[in-house]
Structure 1
Amino acid sequence: MSDLVRIVEVGPRDGLQNEARRLSVEQRVDLIGRLAAAGLSEIEAGAMVSPKRVPQMAESDAVLARLAHDGRHRYPVLVPNLQGLDTALAAGARDIAVFGAASETFSQRNIQCSIAESLRHFEAVVEQARAHGIRVRGYVSCVAGCPYEGAIAPGKVADVAHALYLMGCEEISLGDTIGVGTPGSILAMLDAVDRRVPMRLVAGHYHDTRGMALANIYASLEAGVRCFDASIGGLGGCPYADGASGNVATEEVAYLLAGLGYQTGIDLEALARTAWWISGLLGGEPRSKLALAMKKHNEDAAV
């Protein structure tokens, strides 16, 4: 099999924003550089949000401004509004992302507005971004379940994904925010979305809170998805389940894809070393079984 599957690295944004320890601008730039050197070409660099609400993302503009925009790598940043877009543009952004939800209650609690209101806000952001030649990615959270409403109907996910598609988002990432999805529920959701949005524009963003992320990725591959979000070392716990893992580990996704014969362009050894390095900075070990196993294997081989 020679199909190319893209991995979008979300650790420096979605991962770090859910970690208790804050990293400096220099450490975050170093992390992004290590990820790029390991073969990742799309790496979320931060979020242009209030540092009072998300202190881990403070000075994301400084991080973005220090990255080499060489055309070989993409460094999207999360942009919630026009003010955030202005900040991103001033820092040299070429890729941004907007973040919506398929759950009405989650939307109200997360961004303090209804789904319909959030989409109206995003329309203005997307329009201005595209006028500047900026690529826009759309996120839909709670695609399998919501911490407040429970299971989410696939049709609701398709409605939001379709709205983002119509307003000009070039890719739509579908997020199982609380990690409740199983292959059956994920495939039902993808089937509904596929009727409204071309599958080539869809990405999977599956949290591993209940250990289902890799299974959901495998099922999504069978459904035609060729892009997945992941976080180095499994950075980022689940804010809705104390002590639970959140993002699926990038190295585990890369290992799965390589085993299935897909091309990713990733150096797995370099990725595992990066997982240990960043986890050490944060005061712990990687959450991925693969990073732990690779270290043990290398230690045994050195004896």
Structure 2
Amino acid sequence: MKLIECPRDAMQGLPDFIPTATKTEYLNTLLQVGFDTLDFGSFVSPKAIPQLRDTAEVLAGLDLSSTPTKLLAIVANLRGAETALQHPEISYLGFPLSVSATFQRRNTNQSTAEALADVAAMHEQCERSGKTLVTYLSMGFGNPYGDAWSPEIVTDFTEQLAALGVRIVALSDTIGASTAATITPLFSALIPAFPAIEFGAHLHTTPTTWHEKVAAAYEGGCRRFDGAIGGIGGCPMAADELTGNMATENLLRFMAEQGQDSGLDMAAFARAQAAAASVFAFH
């Protein structure tokens, strides 16, 4: 299993600004653990996400000299992508393409057609710059707006991404709507149908449903999982206030159940857990 740690998702919705030095220190702690990828920040409007307005400053303070971990930054439009592409330290750009037209408009102020056009342009820019675009299919398991959702709709979005040459697609359970009954069939259908795409799972969950969701994605063939230490963060639109990010420690527990070695430095992970408890203690 490939683990993507998402402190950006954990921090972005917090109302109190986390000082830049604190963010930088925490991310440097995470870089020592050995995650495949660190979703560390985003180049979006400071008005949209005030918490991450210092992403460039944080990036400048990261120690990448002895870590295998690659950096991923979220962008919401071409302007953000162009900014992110100026930083050679970043390997991945992530863009949220929503299966729900309502959420696309709310999240990036675009129509679905406009968002797909941006995906095409970003993918081309990433290819020229030696970077990789990660496309998140937001609201990938349903939405609260009454917009149409079905496995066929998700497949149609994936077909369009495959036609563009997109190589990584993360199905995103934005509001915690997924169940084992929807997760396994979706991955089981998509993974063999699109062998050129690496599929990931960005699952939001309550503390009691995490195991069934991870197991369902794993059973469907998914081997790329997003998590956040402590399960911090998630979408504020979720119906259950306990719905948050998939806790990284639970992903590690599941890997152990499968007899898999995470390959992480567990002493460094313990230090990261302690750091997370400090960073998020007052939020």
The amino acid across from 2:169 in the alignment is I
**1:7 and 2:3 equivalent?**
yes
Cα distance, 1:272 vs. partner? 4.2
> Is the contact between residue 143 and residue 174 of structure 1 (CA under 8 Å) also seen in structure 2?
yes
> Is the contact between residue 137 and residue 171 of structure 2 (CA under 8 Å) also seen in structure 1?
yes
Query: Within 2, Cα distance between the matches of 1:131 and 1:169?
Result: 14
Change (3 A) 1:149 1:86: same
Cα distance, 1:170 vs. partner? 2.4
Q: Could you say which residue in structure 2 is the equivalent of 1:186?
A: 183
Query: Within 2, Cα distance between the matches of 1:128 and 1:147?
Result: 33
Query: Within 2, Cα distance between the matches of 1:226 and 1:237?
Result: 21
Cα distance, 1:163 vs. partner? 2.1
Query: Within 2, Cα distance between the matches of 1:51 and 1:145?
Result: 28
Change (3 A) 1:220 1:237: closer
The amino acid across from 2:180 in the alignment is P
> Is the contact between residue 143 and residue 176 of structure 1 (CA under 8 Å) also seen in structure 2?
yes
**1:46 and 2:41 equivalent?**
yes
Q: 1:229 aligns with which of 220, 226, 230?
A: 226
Q: Could you say which residue in structure 2 is the equivalent of 1:108?
A: 105
Q: Mean Cα displacement is larger for which, 56-65 or 118-127?
A: 56-65
**1:82 and 2:78 equivalent?**
yes
Change (3 A) 1:276 1:68: closer
Matched ranges for 1:250-261 at <5 A: 250-261=248-259
Cα distance, 1:44 vs. partner? 0.9
Secondary structure (helix, strand or coil) at the match of 2:95 reads strand
Identity fraction in percent: 31
**1:59 and 2:57 equivalent?**
no
Q: 1:129 aligns with which of 114, 121, 126?
A: 126
What 5-or-longer segments of structure 1 have no aligned partner?
286-303
Q: 1:165 aligns with which of 138, 162, 167?
A: 162
Q: Mean Cα displacement is larger for which, 236-245 or 252-261?
A: 236-245
* Cα deviation code 1:210-254 (max 9, x no counterpart): 743321111221221111000111110430136323101111111
> Is the contact between residue 34 and residue 68 of structure 2 (CA under 8 Å) also seen in structure 1?
no
* Cα deviation code 1:63-113 (max 9, x no counterpart): 223334457220110122222122112333232111101112211222222
Q: 2:213 aligns with which of 198, 201, 216?
A: 216
Q: TM-score scaled by structure 1? A: 0.84
Q: Larger % of strand: which?
A: 2
Change (3 A) 1:117 1:82: closer
> Is the contact between residue 14 and residue 236 of structure 1 (CA under 8 Å) also seen in structure 2?
yes
> Is the contact between residue 236 and residue 247 of structure 1 (CA under 8 Å) also seen in structure 2?
yes
Q: Could you say which residue in structure 2 is the equivalent of 1:245?
A: 243
Query: Within 2, Cα distance between the matches of 1:85 and 1:227?
Result: 23
Equivalent residues, number? 280
What 5-or-longer segments of structure 2 have no aligned partner?
none
Query: Within 1, Cα distance between the matches of 2:271 and 2:146?
Result: 39
* Cα deviation code 1:155-192 (max 9, x no counterpart): 11122223223323221111011112111111222234
**1:27 and 2:25 equivalent?**
no
> Is the contact between residue 75 and residue 94 of structure 1 (CA under 8 Å) also seen in structure 2?
yes
> Is the contact between residue 155 and residue 193 of structure 1 (CA under 8 Å) also seen in structure 2?
no
> Is the contact between residue 76 and residue 96 of structure 2 (CA under 8 Å) also seen in structure 1?
yes
Query: Where in structure 1 do 4 or more consecutive aligned residues deviate above 4 Å?
Result: none
Q: Could you say which residue in structure 2 is the equivalent of 1:120?
A: 117
Query: Within 1, Cα distance between the matches of 2:154 and 2:137?
Result: 7
The amino acid across from 2:35 in the alignment is L
> Is the contact between residue 180 and residue 210 of structure 1 (CA under 8 Å) also seen in structure 2?
no
Cα distance, 1:120 vs. partner? 0.7
**1:282 and 2:280 equivalent?**
yes
> Is the contact between residue 162 and residue 196 of structure 1 (CA under 8 Å) also seen in structure 2?
no
The amino acid across from 1:252 in the alignment is N
